[in-house]
Amino acid sequence: MRDALLAAGFTDEGLLGLLGAPAYAALARGETVPALRATRGDTPLETLVRLFLLQQPVPRARAAAILPVEQCLASGWLTPAGTARATGGAGDGAQVAATVDVRPYAGPGEREKDWFIVSDLGCAVGGASGIGGRGRSADADVVLGVGGASTTLAQLTVRTPVTAALDLGTGSGIQALHASQHASRVTATDVNPRALRCAALTLALSGAPAADLREGSLYEPVGDETYDLIVSNPPFVISPVGTVPAASGDARSRGCLTYREAGVGGDDLCRTLVQGAGQRLNEGGYAQFLANWQHVADEDWTERLRSWVPSGCDAWIVQREVQDVTQYAELWLRDAGEHRMDPAGYAARYDAWLEEFARRRTTAVGFGWITLRRTGSQAPSVTVEEWPHPVEQPLGGTVRAHFGRRDQLRTYDDAALLASHLRLAPDVVQEQVGLPGAEDPEHIVLRQQRGMRRATRVDTVGAGFAGACDGTLPAGRILDAIAQLIGEDPVRLRDSMPPRIRLLMEQGFLEPVG
């Protein structure tokens, strides 16, 4: 099957060439009309795009020129289609249709690998029509393809060679596929058995080693086994499960959508995942999660997240976005296509979401990234911060460097800090803002060009210090020189500057030499 797809040029590059950038981008948004217009011919590539991406039946003879059709029908990739199918029958077999969505996928830095992602039909995430109401996608156990969250996690993940990796809630298998490139063993779990079958196909069709697939909830399928890397893009959506009035005839009335909602209250699933990772990480191992968390009235959200961090782990938690409860409810009602239901049903479900949030005293929901690293240190370093600005992806290297700096700084007291030789990171530039013609700038900002692309305000002493850090003089000597220059007491400067220098180091503006 893989050979047949590649021979037809069914690759990410091939798709871009065939569809052109706008139709290609529209397809990634879940919009199919531009791609349908671009695939009216009968080349092998057009046929495969119509079959596997656009859910169009194609003439059996045309498919047979590209694919081993008999075997595809026998093993279930394809199903007979034709005139009778349109009226609900099995089809006369003059045409064939795909049973799953197969789409070329170029992972960050892995473009040449010719990967494929297998998921349920019609599950391209996004698009104006939402997920609901399209074939299987109305079902609660639908297996989604690659979405924005999938690629965000894939790009965040630290990609160092490891022995054992765990992908919890594997879905289409995208995270397991990435992990298979740098882990000797990959375990992939899901509560949804359909997801495990899709993940197996994704790996096989991509030419990747098979994973150890296990069915079950959260850590239950892996018990106390330990890993060097745990990744999860979990069903983090906080929803009023079980209390929402069901739309009649809606498969979702059975409960929640497995791919996005945990079926437990509030942010409990994310908390359980994070807390459970500590004991399942090997020394030096990373656990990386996407998560949602509640902002509760009269509670500091950063404290809520700090309380999730398991002992023995450093943590870096970044809140990327906050939505008030109304924006949040609308986002997920629309994602499920519920805005297209009858107005009264929509209003009832919207009301149930707000009721649930009111009951939990939740005012807003945060979305972000949680990374743990097991260090066994008695004094774990936990950073919880808000950084909603654009970052440079892939960020895996930056995540690793963040924890490397924490390890280093743990060993530096103030005296060691002042004795160390520091260097301004090569991607840092200085920006000055002020009135034109004014002698002194009002603000000086140090800005990173790479990674987190952080910006931090400094005063003239901070800017002077950072600018002088070229690795030749110890930090303390630079401060003495600045003190002399500005007529400041050098002892006072040596006393006051270490916390600020430490912060600049923690955030990667300054790095130790050697």
Nearer CB in complex with ligand SAM: 168/287: 168
When the beta carbons of 120 and 480 are compared against ligand SAM, the nearer one is: 120
157 sits near ligand SAM (criterion: CB under 6 A): no
Q: Which region, judged by CB under 6 A, interacts with ligand SAM, from 46-54, 163-171, 179-187, 501-509? A: 163-171
What residues numbered 252-311 form the site for ligand SAM, per CB under 6 A?
258-260, 262
- Quote the distance between the C-alpha of residue 445 and its chain's center: 29
Q: Which of 14, 169, 310, 476 binds ligand SAM (CB under 6 A)?
A: 169
- 369 three-class SS: strand
> 43 Cβ partners below 8 Å, 6+ apart?
none
H helices within 29-129, ranges in order? 33-38, 44-48, 60-64, 69-75, 83-86
Query: Three-state SS string across 295-364, please?
Result: EECCCCHHHHHHCCCCCCEEEEEEEEEEEEHHHHHHHHHHHCCHHHCCHHHHHHHHHHHHHHHHHCCEEE
- Identity of the residue, 321 or 459, whose beta carbon is nearer to ligand SAM in the bound complex: 321
| Amino acid (one-letter) located at 318 | V
The stretches of 362-474 forming alpha helices (DSSP H) are 396-410, 414-419, 460-468
Q: In terms of CB distance, is 120 or 511 closer to ligand SAM?
A: 120
State which residue, 196 or 417, has the beta carbon closest to ligand SAM.
196
Q: In the numeric block, which tokens belong to residue 365?
A: 């929901």
- C-beta of 227: minimal distance to ligand SAM in Å? 15
Size of the site for ligand SAM (CB under 6 A): 23
Residues 223-262 close enough to bind ligand SAM by CB under 6 A: 233-235, 258-260, 262
* Angstrom distance (rounded) from CA 488 to CA 460: 13
Q: How far, in Å, CA of 135 to CA of 465, rounded?
A: 62
Question: Exactly one of 15, 63, 124, 153 binds ligand SAM (CB under 6 A); which one?
Answer: 153
Q: How far apart are CA 133 and CA 83, in angstroms?
A: 23
One character per residue 15-34, x = contact with ligand SAM (rule: CB under 6 A):
--------------------
Region of 33-41, 129-137, 167-175, 475-483 interacting with ligand SAM (CB under 6 A): 167-175
Q: Which amino acid is at 276?
A: G
Q: Any contact of residue 394 with ligand SAM (CB under 6 A)?
A: no
Q: Is 217 in the site for ligand SAM (CB under 6 A)?
A: yes
Residue 186 binds to ligand SAM (criterion: CB under 6 A)? no
Q: Which of residues 194-213 bind ligand SAM (CB under 6 A)?
A: 195
195's CB contacts (< 8 A; 6+ apart) are 143, 169, 170, 171, 172, 173
Residue 261: CB minimum distance to ligand SAM, A: 8
CB-wise, 219 or 316, nearer to ligand SAM?
Answer: 219
Position 466 contacts ligand SAM (CB under 6 A):
no
Specify the residue, 225 or 299, whose C-beta has the smaller distance to ligand SAM. Answer: 225
Residue 190 sits in the site that holds ligand SAM (CB under 6 A): yes
The single residue among 175, 288, 371, 420 that binds ligand SAM, judged by CB under 6 A, is: 175
Helix, strand, or coil (residue 390): coil
In angstroms, the CA 335 to CA 233 distance is: 17
User: Per rule CB under 6 A, is residue 174 in the interface with ligand SAM?
Assistant: yes
Q: How far is the CB of 120 from ligand SAM (least distance, A)?
A: 11
> Is the Cβ of residue 95 or residue 150 nearer to ligand SAM in the bound state?
150
Tokens of 74: 């026998």
Q: Which amino acid is at 441?
A: P
Stretch that binds ligand SAM, among 186-194, 202-210, 309-317, 490-498 (CB under 6 A): 186-194
If the CB atoms of residues 27 and 191 are measured against ligand SAM, the closer one turns out to be 191
User: Which one, 227 or 259, has the nearer CB to ligand SAM?
Assistant: 259
Distance of closest approach, residue 181 Cβ to ligand SAM, in angstroms: 16
Of 163, 273, 147, nearest to 228 (Cα)? Answer: 163
Cα–Cα distance measured from residue 419 to residue 385, given in angstroms and rounded to the nearest whole number: 29
Q: Judging by beta carbons within 10 Å of its beta carbon (0-12, 13-18, 19+), is residue 366 exposed, middle or buried? A: buried
Beta-carbon contacts of residue 381 (< 8 Å; ≥ 6 apart): 314, 315, 406, 409, 410
Rule CB under 6 A: which of 54-113 touch ligand SAM?
A: none
CB of 216 to ligand SAM, least distance (A): 7
Element containing residue 272 per DSSP (H, E): helix 268-277
In the complex, the residues that contact ligand SAM under the rule CB under 6 A are 150, 153, 168-172, 174-175, 189-192, 195, 217-218, 233-235, 258-260, 262
